[in-house]
Every structure is written in structure tokens, then in C-alpha cells.
């Protein structure tokens, strides 16, 4: 039963990270094209795109949050390992699990409050000045990031616990 859920979570995490990487690539291209077009229009025709800077900021914010989620999936986010590097293996493993569980709690709280924030009346009626679009669309990256990061960490912890359990069973 655990194996099926672990595999299902792992496949879901891999699928989500594939989509995240594809969206990040598309956003990088869109950002580059936006900057090039804006520069050409600004310097060649003296008529820049009035919305380019605001849209560029939102694109960068989305890319940053997605890149962090991708890093969490690959377990390549920044860690301070100076202290844990000198610990014995069981204590190091316990610190790893504790830190991952703390991250899960923080992401779950962030998901709850970011959903409340995005659906609040204050944000519902907020508009992007130069784009004329609702800002809640841009703000969706925070709950989206929280949900995908929760999935990535949960899948990784499920895989690690299944692997640790399999090792423990084989040793007996």
C-alpha cells in the first residue's frame, strides 16, 4: 500500500516538475522577447511598451518561485551543513527529517494563508496598473508554489522512508 502511494506521489512530483520546467523555459523566452521588443521600440521608434516593465517583474517573480519549487524537487536547495557534517549518521538523519518536517509545516501554513489572501476582497479588486489585469492572477504563484513544494517534499520523504524501511527489513 505504501509503495503504491509512494510511486504515485513520485510520479506526480516528476510530472509537476516537468511542467514547472517547461513553464520556466517559456517564461524565460517570453521575458527575453519582451525585453528585446521593448528595447527596439524604445530606441528605434522612441515608443516603448508601457507595460513591459510591470509584466517583466511579474515574469521574474513567477520564474523565481517556480525555480525554488524545482530546486526543492531535486533536493538542491541551500542547506547549512557545517554542524550536521560532524554529527554521527543517525543524528544527521534525524536533523534532516526534522528540517524537512518543519518545511512541510511552513509550506502548509503558507498555502492556507496565501489562499486566504488571494481570495480576499482586497486582492480581488486590485488591478495591475499598466496591464489592466487583475493582480490575483499574478499572486496565484504563492499558493501554487506552496502546493507544488508540498508535493515535492512529501514525495521525497515518502521515497526516503520507504527506502529506509526496505533497508531495515533486509537487515533483519
pLDDT (tens digit per residue) in 80-122:
777 777 888 888 888 888 989 999 999 999 999 999 999 999 8
Q: Annotate 104-120 with DSSP letters as a single string.
A: HHHHHHHHHHHHHHHTS
Read off the pTM.
0.83
Task: Compute the CA torsion angle 120, 121, 124, 128 (nearest 10 deg).
Answer: -100
Mean pLDDT to the nearest integer, 12-35: 97
Mean pLDDT to the nearest integer, 13-21: 96
Confidence class for position 172, pLDDT limits 50, 70, 90:
very low
Tell which residue, 115, 103, 114, 38, has the closest CA to residue 77: 103
User: CA 21, CA 15: separation in Å to the nearest integer?
Assistant: 10
Mean pLDDT to the nearest integer, 131-142: 92
Query: Reduced to 3 states, what is the DSSP secondary structure of residue 124?
Result: helix
CA 125 to chain centre: 26
Query: According to DSSP H, which parts of 46-88 are helical?
Result: 52-73
Query: Is the model's pLDDT at 73 over the cut of 50?
Result: yes
Highest mean pLDDT, choosing among 1-5, 61-65, 88-92: 61-65
Q: Which three cell numbers stand for residue 105?
A: 509545516
Confidence class for position 26, pLDDT limits 50, 70, 90:
very high
Given a contact cutoff of 8 angstroms between Cβ atoms, the answer to whether 134 and 126 are in contact is: yes
pLDDT score recorded for residue 171 = 43
pLDDT score recorded for residue 93 = 84
Q: Which residues contact 63 (CB under 8 A, 6 or more apart)?
A: 24, 27, 28, 31
pLDDT score recorded for residue 6 = 56
Query: Is the model's pLDDT at 33 over the cut of 90?
Result: yes
Mean pLDDT to the nearest integer, 136-153: 96
| Sign of the dihedral through C-alpha 10, 13, 15, 18 | negative
Amino acid at each position: 500500500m505504501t509503495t503504491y502511494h509512494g510511486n504515485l506521489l513520485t510520479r506526480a512530483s516528476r510530472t509537476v516538475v516537468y511542467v514547472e520546467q517547461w513553464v520556466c523555459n517559456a517564461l524565460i523566452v517570453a521575458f527575453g522577447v519582451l525585453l528585446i521588443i521593448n528595447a527596439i521600440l524604445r530606441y528605434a521608434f522612441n515608443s516603448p511598451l508601457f507595460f513591459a516593465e510591470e509584466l517583466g517583474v511579474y515574469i521574474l517573480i513567477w520564474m523565481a518561485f517556480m525555480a525554488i519549487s524545482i530546486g526543492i524537487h531535486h533536493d538542491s536547495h541551500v542547506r547549512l551543513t557545517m554542524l550536521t557534517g560532524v554529527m554521527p549518521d543517525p543524528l544527521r538523519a534525524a536533523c534532516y527529517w526534522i528540517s524537512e518536517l518543519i518545511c512541510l509545516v511552513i509550506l502548509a501554513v503558507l498555502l492556507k494563508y496565501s489562499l486566504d489572501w488571494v481570495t480576499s476582497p482586497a486582492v480581488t479588486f486590485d488591478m495591475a496598473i499598466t496591464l489592466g489585469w487583475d493582480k490575483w492572477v499574478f499572486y496565484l504563484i504563492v499558493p501554487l508554489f506552496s502546493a507544488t513544494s508540498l508535493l515535492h517534499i512529501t514525495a521525497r520523504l515518502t521515497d526516503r522512508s520507504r527506502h529506509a524501511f526496505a533497508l531495515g527489513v533486509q537487515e533483519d
